[in-house]
Amino acid sequence: MRRVGELSPADWPRVFYGVRWDGRGRGLVIAAGLIAALLCSLVLASSALAADKGVPVVVVGKGSARAVKAAGGKVTHRVRLIDGVIAKVPARSVRAVRRARGVRSVVVDRAFKTRSDDDDADALLGESAPATDDVPADATTLAEVRRSIGADRLDASGDGVDVALIDSGITPVGDLADPGRVVNGPDFSFDARNPALRHLDAFGHGTHLAGIVAGVAPGARLVNVKAANAEGLTSLSQLLMAIDYTVRYRHANGLNVRVISLAVGADNDDGYQREPLAWAVERAWNAGVAVVAAGGNDGSDRDGLELPAADPFVIAVGGADTQGTGNPADDEVADWSSRGDGTRNPDVLAPGSSIVSYRVPGSFIDQSSEGRVGDDRQRGSGTSQATAVAAGAAALLLQRHGDWSPDQLKAALRDGARSMAGSRRAVGEGEIDVAASDTLSPADQAQGFAPARLFDSTPGGRRFSVAVRRLRDLLGRRWTGRRWTGVKWNGVKWNGVKW
Protein backbone atom coordinates (compact mmCIF):
# COMPACT_ATOMS: atom_id res chain seq x y z
CA MET A 1 0.00 0.00 0.00
CA ARG A 2 1.19 3.50 -0.70
CA ARG A 3 2.29 5.26 2.46
CA VAL A 4 0.59 8.59 3.00
CA GLY A 5 2.74 11.35 4.43
CA GLU A 6 2.15 12.81 7.88
CA LEU A 7 2.02 16.42 8.92
CA SER A 8 5.07 17.74 10.68
CA PRO A 9 4.67 18.99 14.26
CA ALA A 10 6.55 22.07 13.09
CA ASP A 11 3.42 23.03 11.14
CA TRP A 12 1.53 23.61 14.36
CA PRO A 13 1.76 25.86 17.38
CA ARG A 14 2.09 23.39 20.24
CA VAL A 15 -0.65 23.28 22.84
CA PHE A 16 0.50 22.68 26.40
CA TYR A 17 -1.51 22.36 29.55
CA GLY A 18 -1.22 21.89 33.27
CA VAL A 19 -3.64 19.87 35.34
CA ARG A 20 -4.43 18.96 38.90
CA TRP A 21 -4.96 15.20 39.08
CA ASP A 22 -7.23 15.08 42.15
CA GLY A 23 -8.42 17.04 45.15
CA ARG A 24 -6.02 15.50 47.66
CA GLY A 25 -2.97 17.47 46.76
CA ARG A 26 -1.63 15.06 44.17
CA GLY A 27 -0.63 17.52 41.55
CA LEU A 28 1.18 18.22 38.38
CA VAL A 29 2.63 21.71 38.63
CA ILE A 30 2.36 23.90 35.57
CA ALA A 31 5.97 24.43 34.73
CA ALA A 32 7.07 27.91 33.80
CA GLY A 33 8.79 26.41 30.79
CA LEU A 34 5.52 25.06 29.44
CA ILE A 35 3.81 28.41 29.85
CA ALA A 36 6.71 30.09 28.14
CA ALA A 37 6.57 27.54 25.35
CA LEU A 38 2.86 28.17 24.88
CA LEU A 39 3.32 31.93 24.72
CA CYS A 40 6.29 31.52 22.42
CA SER A 41 4.33 29.24 20.10
CA LEU A 42 1.57 31.82 19.79
CA VAL A 43 4.08 34.58 19.08
CA LEU A 44 5.77 32.42 16.47
CA ALA A 45 2.44 31.60 14.88
CA SER A 46 1.55 35.26 14.75
CA SER A 47 4.92 36.07 13.26
CA ALA A 48 4.54 33.37 10.62
CA LEU A 49 1.18 34.75 9.58
CA ALA A 50 2.55 38.26 9.60
CA ALA A 51 5.26 37.09 7.24
CA ASP A 52 2.53 35.37 5.24
CA LYS A 53 4.34 32.02 5.20
CA GLY A 54 1.06 30.21 4.89
CA VAL A 55 -2.02 29.23 6.82
CA PRO A 56 -2.70 25.47 7.19
CA VAL A 57 -6.11 24.83 5.62
CA VAL A 58 -8.43 22.04 4.57
CA VAL A 59 -9.89 22.83 1.14
CA VAL A 60 -12.80 20.74 -0.12
CA GLY A 61 -14.00 20.54 -3.71
CA LYS A 62 -12.90 19.16 -7.04
CA GLY A 63 -11.15 22.43 -7.83
CA SER A 64 -9.30 22.59 -4.50
CA ALA A 65 -5.78 21.74 -5.70
CA ARG A 66 -6.03 24.12 -8.64
CA ALA A 67 -7.30 26.93 -6.43
CA VAL A 68 -4.51 26.46 -3.90
CA LYS A 69 -1.82 26.59 -6.57
CA ALA A 70 -3.39 29.62 -8.24
CA ALA A 71 -3.33 31.43 -4.89
CA GLY A 72 0.38 30.76 -4.41
CA GLY A 73 -0.18 28.02 -1.87
CA LYS A 74 1.22 24.51 -1.56
CA VAL A 75 -0.72 21.26 -1.43
CA THR A 76 0.80 18.98 1.23
CA HIS A 77 -1.68 16.08 1.06
CA ARG A 78 -4.63 15.01 -1.03
CA VAL A 79 -7.74 13.63 0.66
CA ARG A 80 -9.61 11.91 -2.15
CA LEU A 81 -12.53 10.84 0.00
CA ILE A 82 -13.67 14.45 0.36
CA ASP A 83 -12.36 15.68 -3.01
CA GLY A 84 -10.05 17.90 -1.02
CA VAL A 85 -6.53 18.78 -0.04
CA ILE A 86 -4.51 19.75 2.99
CA ALA A 87 -2.53 22.83 2.08
CA LYS A 88 -0.70 25.95 3.15
CA VAL A 89 -2.07 29.14 1.68
CA PRO A 90 -0.84 32.73 2.14
CA ALA A 91 -3.19 34.40 4.62
CA ARG A 92 -3.94 37.18 2.14
CA SER A 93 -5.09 34.57 -0.42
CA VAL A 94 -7.49 32.49 1.69
CA ARG A 95 -10.46 34.51 0.47
CA ALA A 96 -9.42 33.97 -3.14
CA VAL A 97 -9.29 30.22 -2.59
CA ARG A 98 -12.74 30.31 -1.03
CA ARG A 99 -14.13 32.11 -4.07
CA ALA A 100 -12.45 29.85 -6.60
CA ARG A 101 -14.51 27.71 -8.92
CA GLY A 102 -14.92 24.14 -7.73
CA VAL A 103 -14.23 24.93 -4.06
CA ARG A 104 -16.95 23.96 -1.60
CA SER A 105 -15.29 24.85 1.68
CA VAL A 106 -12.14 26.32 3.21
CA VAL A 107 -11.51 25.57 6.88
CA VAL A 108 -8.39 26.56 8.77
CA ASP A 109 -6.81 23.42 10.18
CA ARG A 110 -6.04 23.37 13.86
CA ALA A 111 -4.21 21.39 16.49
CA PHE A 112 -6.27 19.49 19.07
CA LYS A 113 -5.42 18.46 22.59
CA THR A 114 -7.20 15.92 24.74
CA ARG A 115 -7.77 18.14 27.79
CA SER A 116 -6.76 21.67 28.56
CA ASP A 117 -7.20 23.00 32.03
CA ASP A 118 -7.91 22.22 35.67
CA ASP A 119 -11.63 21.87 35.01
CA ASP A 120 -10.96 19.11 32.50
CA ALA A 121 -8.41 17.23 34.59
CA ASP A 122 -11.04 15.38 36.57
CA ALA A 123 -12.94 14.62 33.35
CA LEU A 124 -9.88 12.84 31.99
CA LEU A 125 -8.61 11.05 35.06
CA GLY A 126 -11.42 11.10 37.62
CA GLU A 127 -10.74 10.74 41.31
CA SER A 128 -7.71 8.96 42.65
CA ALA A 129 -8.26 5.32 43.59
CA PRO A 130 -5.76 2.68 44.70
CA ALA A 131 -4.59 0.01 42.32
CA THR A 132 -6.11 -3.39 43.00
CA ASP A 133 -5.08 -6.98 42.38
CA ASP A 134 -8.65 -8.07 41.71
CA VAL A 135 -11.45 -6.44 39.75
CA PRO A 136 -13.30 -4.05 42.11
CA ALA A 137 -16.99 -4.70 42.68
CA ASP A 138 -18.02 -1.50 40.91
CA ALA A 139 -15.90 -2.20 37.82
CA THR A 140 -17.21 -3.93 34.70
CA THR A 141 -15.36 -6.84 33.13
CA LEU A 142 -15.59 -7.57 29.42
CA ALA A 143 -17.48 -10.77 30.20
CA GLU A 144 -20.07 -8.62 31.98
CA VAL A 145 -20.14 -6.24 29.02
CA ARG A 146 -20.95 -9.14 26.69
CA ARG A 147 -23.80 -10.25 28.93
CA SER A 148 -25.14 -6.71 29.16
CA ILE A 149 -25.45 -6.41 25.37
CA GLY A 150 -26.69 -9.95 24.73
CA ALA A 151 -23.49 -11.11 23.03
CA ASP A 152 -23.40 -14.22 25.23
CA ARG A 153 -26.68 -15.27 23.60
CA LEU A 154 -25.42 -14.83 20.05
CA ASP A 155 -23.41 -17.39 18.10
CA ALA A 156 -20.91 -14.90 16.70
CA SER A 157 -17.37 -13.71 17.35
CA GLY A 158 -16.97 -11.06 14.64
CA ASP A 159 -14.92 -13.45 12.52
CA GLY A 160 -14.23 -12.09 9.03
CA VAL A 161 -15.01 -8.50 10.00
CA ASP A 162 -12.30 -5.84 10.36
CA VAL A 163 -12.80 -2.88 12.69
CA ALA A 164 -10.68 0.22 12.03
CA LEU A 165 -9.74 2.03 15.23
CA ILE A 166 -8.81 5.64 14.51
CA ASP A 167 -7.25 6.66 17.79
CA SER A 168 -3.91 7.00 19.59
CA GLY A 169 -2.48 3.71 18.35
CA ILE A 170 -2.44 0.13 19.62
CA THR A 171 0.36 -1.38 21.67
CA PRO A 172 0.61 -5.20 21.40
CA VAL A 173 -0.24 -6.23 24.96
CA GLY A 174 -2.21 -9.29 26.05
CA ASP A 175 -4.05 -11.01 23.23
CA LEU A 176 -3.58 -7.89 21.09
CA ALA A 177 -0.08 -9.29 20.54
CA ASP A 178 -1.43 -12.49 18.97
CA PRO A 179 -0.38 -12.92 15.32
CA GLY A 180 -2.92 -11.45 12.94
CA ARG A 181 -5.01 -9.83 15.67
CA VAL A 182 -4.00 -6.28 14.76
CA VAL A 183 -3.05 -4.91 11.34
CA ASN A 184 -1.18 -1.62 11.29
CA GLY A 185 -2.23 1.01 8.79
CA PRO A 186 -0.25 4.21 8.35
CA ASP A 187 0.62 6.34 11.36
CA PHE A 188 -0.79 9.82 10.71
CA SER A 189 0.20 11.16 14.13
CA PHE A 190 3.11 13.39 15.07
CA ASP A 191 4.78 10.25 16.49
CA ALA A 192 5.23 8.76 13.01
CA ARG A 193 8.70 10.29 12.59
CA ASN A 194 9.91 8.41 15.67
CA PRO A 195 10.43 4.71 14.83
CA ALA A 196 10.19 3.82 18.53
CA LEU A 197 6.64 5.21 18.73
CA ARG A 198 5.27 4.54 15.25
CA HIS A 199 1.89 2.76 15.45
CA LEU A 200 2.25 2.31 19.22
CA ASP A 201 0.03 3.85 21.89
CA ALA A 202 2.15 5.97 24.22
CA PHE A 203 -0.98 7.81 25.35
CA GLY A 204 -2.90 4.74 26.56
CA HIS A 205 -6.32 5.45 25.06
CA GLY A 206 -6.39 3.46 21.82
CA THR A 207 -5.12 0.25 23.41
CA HIS A 208 -7.79 0.40 26.10
CA LEU A 209 -10.46 0.68 23.40
CA ALA A 210 -8.83 -2.03 21.28
CA GLY A 211 -9.03 -4.41 24.23
CA ILE A 212 -12.75 -3.66 24.56
CA VAL A 213 -13.47 -4.32 20.87
CA ALA A 214 -11.47 -7.55 21.08
CA GLY A 215 -13.30 -8.60 24.23
CA VAL A 216 -16.74 -8.02 22.71
CA ALA A 217 -15.89 -9.48 19.29
CA PRO A 218 -12.93 -11.83 19.86
CA GLY A 219 -12.95 -13.01 16.23
CA ALA A 220 -12.81 -9.55 14.67
CA ARG A 221 -9.54 -8.14 13.41
CA LEU A 222 -8.44 -4.64 14.39
CA VAL A 223 -6.94 -2.20 11.92
CA ASN A 224 -4.76 0.29 13.76
CA VAL A 225 -4.97 3.72 12.12
CA LYS A 226 -3.10 6.01 14.48
CA ALA A 227 -4.05 9.69 14.45
CA ALA A 228 -3.12 10.98 17.92
CA ASN A 229 0.34 11.09 19.45
CA ALA A 230 1.81 10.34 22.87
CA GLU A 231 0.23 13.49 24.28
CA GLY A 232 -3.15 12.87 22.71
CA LEU A 233 -2.48 15.62 20.17
CA THR A 234 -4.06 15.37 16.73
CA SER A 235 -5.54 17.61 14.06
CA LEU A 236 -8.55 17.81 11.78
CA SER A 237 -6.37 17.08 8.76
CA GLN A 238 -4.92 13.95 10.37
CA LEU A 239 -8.39 12.65 11.16
CA LEU A 240 -9.50 13.30 7.58
CA MET A 241 -6.47 11.49 6.19
CA ALA A 242 -7.06 8.55 8.53
CA ILE A 243 -10.69 8.19 7.44
CA ASP A 244 -9.69 8.60 3.80
CA TYR A 245 -7.08 5.85 4.07
CA THR A 246 -9.44 3.49 5.86
CA VAL A 247 -12.13 3.80 3.21
CA ARG A 248 -9.86 3.70 0.17
CA TYR A 249 -7.97 0.61 1.36
CA ARG A 250 -10.83 -1.16 3.12
CA HIS A 251 -10.54 -4.21 0.82
CA ALA A 252 -6.80 -4.12 0.11
CA ASN A 253 -4.58 -7.11 0.83
CA GLY A 254 -7.38 -9.22 2.25
CA LEU A 255 -8.91 -6.56 4.48
CA ASN A 256 -12.65 -6.34 5.05
CA VAL A 257 -13.13 -3.11 6.98
CA ARG A 258 -16.83 -2.78 7.71
CA VAL A 259 -16.67 -0.59 10.84
CA ILE A 260 -14.82 2.55 11.91
CA SER A 261 -14.62 3.31 15.63
CA LEU A 262 -14.16 7.05 16.08
CA ALA A 263 -14.02 8.26 19.68
CA VAL A 264 -13.09 11.85 18.98
CA GLY A 265 -15.53 14.68 19.54
CA ALA A 266 -15.66 18.27 18.34
CA ASP A 267 -18.07 21.05 19.28
CA ASN A 268 -20.88 21.31 16.78
CA ASP A 269 -21.19 25.09 16.87
CA ASP A 270 -21.77 25.57 13.14
CA GLY A 271 -23.91 22.51 12.48
CA TYR A 272 -22.76 19.23 10.97
CA GLN A 273 -23.72 20.24 7.43
CA ARG A 274 -20.82 22.71 7.23
CA GLU A 275 -18.16 20.41 8.69
CA PRO A 276 -15.52 18.57 6.61
CA LEU A 277 -15.40 15.87 9.30
CA ALA A 278 -19.12 15.19 8.78
CA TRP A 279 -18.58 15.24 5.01
CA ALA A 280 -15.89 12.57 5.43
CA VAL A 281 -17.85 10.21 7.68
CA GLU A 282 -20.88 10.43 5.40
CA ARG A 283 -18.76 9.44 2.44
CA ALA A 284 -17.33 6.54 4.42
CA TRP A 285 -20.88 5.50 5.29
CA ASN A 286 -22.00 5.68 1.66
CA ALA A 287 -19.01 3.53 0.70
CA GLY A 288 -20.31 0.75 2.93
CA VAL A 289 -18.31 1.40 6.12
CA ALA A 290 -20.39 1.93 9.26
CA VAL A 291 -19.06 4.78 11.41
CA VAL A 292 -19.58 4.39 15.16
CA ALA A 293 -19.00 7.69 16.97
CA ALA A 294 -18.86 8.83 20.59
CA GLY A 295 -21.68 11.15 21.61
CA GLY A 296 -19.61 13.07 24.15
CA ASN A 297 -19.10 13.31 27.90
CA ASP A 298 -20.81 16.59 28.76
CA GLY A 299 -23.75 14.98 30.55
CA SER A 300 -26.63 17.39 30.92
CA ASP A 301 -24.34 20.44 31.01
CA ARG A 302 -25.19 21.25 27.41
CA ASP A 303 -27.66 20.17 24.77
CA GLY A 304 -26.38 18.41 21.69
CA LEU A 305 -23.96 15.71 20.68
CA GLU A 306 -20.43 16.34 19.50
CA LEU A 307 -19.16 15.86 15.97
CA PRO A 308 -19.06 13.50 14.22
CA ALA A 309 -21.82 11.87 16.31
CA ALA A 310 -23.97 14.96 15.68
CA ASP A 311 -24.17 13.89 12.05
CA PRO A 312 -27.46 11.94 11.94
CA PHE A 313 -26.19 9.41 9.39
CA VAL A 314 -23.65 7.73 11.69
CA ILE A 315 -24.25 5.58 14.78
CA ALA A 316 -24.10 7.92 17.77
CA VAL A 317 -23.31 6.12 21.03
CA GLY A 318 -24.07 7.24 24.56
CA GLY A 319 -22.78 5.63 27.73
CA ALA A 320 -24.63 3.28 30.08
CA ASP A 321 -23.71 2.72 33.72
CA THR A 322 -23.73 -1.04 34.32
CA GLN A 323 -23.52 -0.75 38.13
CA GLY A 324 -20.60 -3.18 37.91
CA THR A 325 -22.78 -6.12 36.85
CA GLY A 326 -23.58 -8.05 33.72
CA ASN A 327 -27.30 -7.78 34.38
CA PRO A 328 -28.79 -5.24 31.96
CA ALA A 329 -31.86 -4.86 34.18
CA ASP A 330 -29.95 -2.52 36.52
CA ASP A 331 -28.26 -0.47 33.78
CA GLU A 332 -29.04 3.21 33.44
CA VAL A 333 -27.77 6.15 31.45
CA ALA A 334 -24.47 7.44 32.83
CA ASP A 335 -24.52 10.94 34.26
CA TRP A 336 -21.57 11.95 32.09
CA SER A 337 -23.12 10.78 28.81
CA SER A 338 -23.99 13.74 26.57
CA ARG A 339 -27.65 14.46 25.96
CA GLY A 340 -29.07 15.19 22.54
CA ASP A 341 -30.93 18.33 21.55
CA GLY A 342 -34.24 16.61 20.93
CA THR A 343 -33.64 16.42 17.18
CA ARG A 344 -30.35 14.57 17.12
CA ASN A 345 -30.09 12.23 20.11
CA PRO A 346 -27.88 9.23 20.80
CA ASP A 347 -28.97 6.31 18.66
CA VAL A 348 -28.15 3.74 21.32
CA LEU A 349 -26.37 3.37 24.62
CA ALA A 350 -23.61 0.86 25.36
CA PRO A 351 -21.78 -0.03 28.58
CA GLY A 352 -19.17 2.61 29.28
CA SER A 353 -18.71 2.83 33.04
CA SER A 354 -15.50 1.67 34.69
CA ILE A 355 -14.69 -0.83 31.94
CA VAL A 356 -11.66 -3.02 32.63
CA SER A 357 -9.35 -3.35 29.63
CA TYR A 358 -5.67 -3.28 28.75
CA ARG A 359 -3.26 -0.74 30.11
CA VAL A 360 -0.08 0.40 28.39
CA PRO A 361 2.74 0.40 30.95
CA GLY A 362 4.47 3.76 31.02
CA SER A 363 1.88 5.56 28.89
CA PHE A 364 0.56 8.99 29.77
CA ILE A 365 -2.65 7.60 31.25
CA ASP A 366 -0.82 4.79 33.05
CA GLN A 367 1.51 7.24 34.76
CA SER A 368 -1.20 9.78 35.52
CA SER A 369 -3.81 7.57 37.15
CA GLU A 370 -4.09 4.87 39.77
CA GLY A 371 -6.99 2.83 38.42
CA ARG A 372 -4.80 -0.15 37.63
CA VAL A 373 -6.30 -3.62 37.97
CA GLY A 374 -3.69 -6.35 38.41
CA ASP A 375 -0.57 -6.08 36.31
CA ASP A 376 -2.01 -5.47 32.87
CA ARG A 377 -5.46 -3.86 33.15
CA GLN A 378 -6.88 -0.39 33.62
CA ARG A 379 -10.33 0.96 34.43
CA GLY A 380 -11.82 3.56 32.11
CA SER A 381 -15.20 5.25 31.61
CA GLY A 382 -16.72 7.38 28.92
CA THR A 383 -18.45 7.34 25.58
CA SER A 384 -15.10 6.25 24.13
CA GLN A 385 -15.48 2.95 25.92
CA ALA A 386 -19.15 2.76 24.94
CA THR A 387 -18.18 3.37 21.31
CA ALA A 388 -15.69 0.51 21.41
CA VAL A 389 -18.42 -1.77 22.79
CA ALA A 390 -20.80 -0.69 20.01
CA ALA A 391 -18.12 -1.23 17.36
CA GLY A 392 -17.60 -4.77 18.64
CA ALA A 393 -21.35 -5.32 18.63
CA ALA A 394 -21.50 -4.13 15.02
CA ALA A 395 -18.81 -6.67 14.09
CA LEU A 396 -20.86 -9.48 15.67
CA LEU A 397 -23.94 -8.58 13.64
CA LEU A 398 -22.02 -8.08 10.41
CA GLN A 399 -20.51 -11.55 10.73
CA ARG A 400 -24.01 -12.99 10.77
CA HIS A 401 -25.48 -10.54 8.26
CA GLY A 402 -22.66 -9.82 5.85
CA ASP A 403 -24.99 -8.30 3.29
CA TRP A 404 -26.31 -5.60 5.62
CA SER A 405 -25.56 -2.03 4.61
CA PRO A 406 -24.57 0.54 7.26
CA ASP A 407 -28.17 1.81 7.18
CA GLN A 408 -29.50 -1.69 7.91
CA LEU A 409 -26.96 -2.23 10.67
CA LYS A 410 -27.95 1.04 12.31
CA ALA A 411 -31.66 0.24 12.03
CA ALA A 412 -31.12 -3.19 13.60
CA LEU A 413 -29.14 -1.75 16.51
CA ARG A 414 -31.78 0.90 17.15
CA ASP A 415 -34.83 -1.34 16.74
CA GLY A 416 -33.33 -4.14 18.80
CA ALA A 417 -32.20 -1.89 21.65
CA ARG A 418 -33.51 -2.56 25.14
CA SER A 419 -35.70 0.22 26.50
CA MET A 420 -34.29 2.21 29.39
CA ALA A 421 -35.69 4.80 31.77
CA GLY A 422 -35.01 8.37 30.73
CA SER A 423 -35.77 10.83 28.00
CA ARG A 424 -34.93 10.18 24.36
CA ARG A 425 -32.41 12.97 24.61
CA ALA A 426 -30.49 10.88 27.13
CA VAL A 427 -31.06 7.24 26.19
CA GLY A 428 -31.96 7.33 22.50
CA GLU A 429 -33.56 4.00 21.60
CA GLY A 430 -32.04 2.28 24.64
CA GLU A 431 -29.13 -0.06 25.33
CA ILE A 432 -27.71 -2.36 22.65
CA ASP A 433 -29.04 -5.92 22.60
CA VAL A 434 -27.34 -7.75 19.74
CA ALA A 435 -29.33 -10.93 20.30
CA ALA A 436 -32.56 -9.01 19.68
CA SER A 437 -31.06 -7.08 16.74
CA ASP A 438 -29.98 -10.36 15.16
CA THR A 439 -33.61 -11.47 14.78
CA LEU A 440 -34.61 -8.40 12.74
CA SER A 441 -34.80 -7.93 8.99
CA PRO A 442 -34.27 -4.20 8.47
CA ALA A 443 -35.10 -2.74 5.09
CA ASP A 444 -32.22 -1.48 3.00
CA GLN A 445 -33.56 2.04 2.96
CA ALA A 446 -31.53 5.24 2.84
CA GLN A 447 -31.83 7.59 5.79
CA GLY A 448 -33.78 10.72 5.02
CA PHE A 449 -31.54 13.30 6.63
CA ALA A 450 -30.04 16.34 4.95
CA PRO A 451 -26.43 15.48 4.09
CA ALA A 452 -23.42 17.65 4.82
CA ARG A 453 -23.02 20.13 1.98
CA LEU A 454 -20.30 22.44 3.36
CA PHE A 455 -21.08 25.50 1.25
CA ASP A 456 -23.82 28.05 1.90
CA SER A 457 -26.75 28.53 -0.42
CA THR A 458 -26.19 32.26 -0.69
CA PRO A 459 -23.17 33.87 -2.39
CA GLY A 460 -20.47 34.81 0.06
CA GLY A 461 -21.97 32.80 2.90
CA ARG A 462 -20.16 32.00 6.12
CA ARG A 463 -17.34 29.79 4.92
CA PHE A 464 -14.66 32.43 5.09
CA SER A 465 -15.95 33.88 8.36
CA VAL A 466 -15.80 30.39 9.89
CA ALA A 467 -12.23 30.01 8.66
CA VAL A 468 -11.23 33.39 10.06
CA ARG A 469 -12.78 32.59 13.44
CA ARG A 470 -10.88 29.31 13.58
CA LEU A 471 -7.70 31.12 12.62
CA ARG A 472 -8.22 33.38 15.60
CA ASP A 473 -8.77 30.31 17.78
CA LEU A 474 -5.44 28.95 16.58
CA LEU A 475 -3.73 32.16 17.66
CA GLY A 476 -5.12 31.99 21.16
CA ARG A 477 -8.14 34.29 20.97
CA ARG A 478 -10.23 31.70 22.87
CA TRP A 479 -7.72 29.77 24.93
CA THR A 480 -9.75 30.03 28.14
CA GLY A 481 -12.73 28.00 29.25
CA ARG A 482 -13.29 24.29 29.35
CA ARG A 483 -11.56 23.54 26.06
CA TRP A 484 -8.73 25.37 24.38
CA THR A 485 -9.44 23.86 20.98
CA GLY A 486 -13.01 22.59 20.89
CA VAL A 487 -12.01 18.97 20.31
CA LYS A 488 -11.36 16.21 22.80
CA TRP A 489 -11.04 12.46 22.95
CA ASN A 490 -14.11 11.08 24.65
CA GLY A 491 -12.45 8.90 27.27
CA VAL A 492 -13.03 10.11 30.81
CA LYS A 493 -12.45 9.06 34.43
CA TRP A 494 -9.68 6.60 33.91
CA ASN A 495 -9.76 5.53 37.56
CA GLY A 496 -11.72 5.50 40.76
CA VAL A 497 -15.03 6.75 39.41
CA LYS A 498 -17.96 7.49 41.71
CA TRP A 499 -21.05 5.53 40.68
Task: Give the active site residues.
Answer: 167, 205, 384
Kindly tell me the burial class for residue 307, based on how many C-beta atoms sit within 10 Å of its own C-beta (0-12, 13-18, 19 or more). buried
Distance between the two ends of the chain, CA-based, in angstroms? 46
Of the candidates 115, 385, 387, the one whose C-alpha atom is nearest the C-alpha of residue 232 is 115
Question: CB–CB of 108/55 below 8 Å?
Answer: yes
* Nearest Cα to Cα of residue 329 among 433, 416, 249, 468: 433
CB atoms within 10 A of CB 338: 31
**C-alpha 421 chain-centroid distance:** 27
CA distance 306 to 297: 9
- CA–CA separation, 393 vs 217, rounded Å? 7
Q: Are 309 and 277 in contact (CB under 8 A)?
A: no
CA-to-CA distance for 168 and 191, rounded, in angstroms? 10
Q: What's the CA gap between 204 and 487, in Å, rounded?
A: 18
Calpha distance 180→223 (Å, rounded): 10
Instruction: For residues 319 and 337, give the distance between their C-alpha atoms in angstroms, rounded to a whole number.
Output: 5
Q: What is the DSSP letter of 155?
A: S
Give me the helix-helix angle, 383-400 and 406-415, nearest 10°: 110
- Tell which phi-psi region holds residue 21, choosing left (phi > 0), alpha (psi between -120 and 50) or beta: alpha
Radius of gyration of the chain (CA): 21
Three-state SS at 383: helix
Q: Reduced to 3 states, what is the DSSP secondary structure of residue 487?
A: strand
d(CA 270, CA 268): 6
With both helix axes pointing from N to C terminus, report the angle between 383-400 and 205-216 in degrees, rounded to the nearest 10. 40
Contact 333/319 with Cβ under 8 angstroms?
A: yes
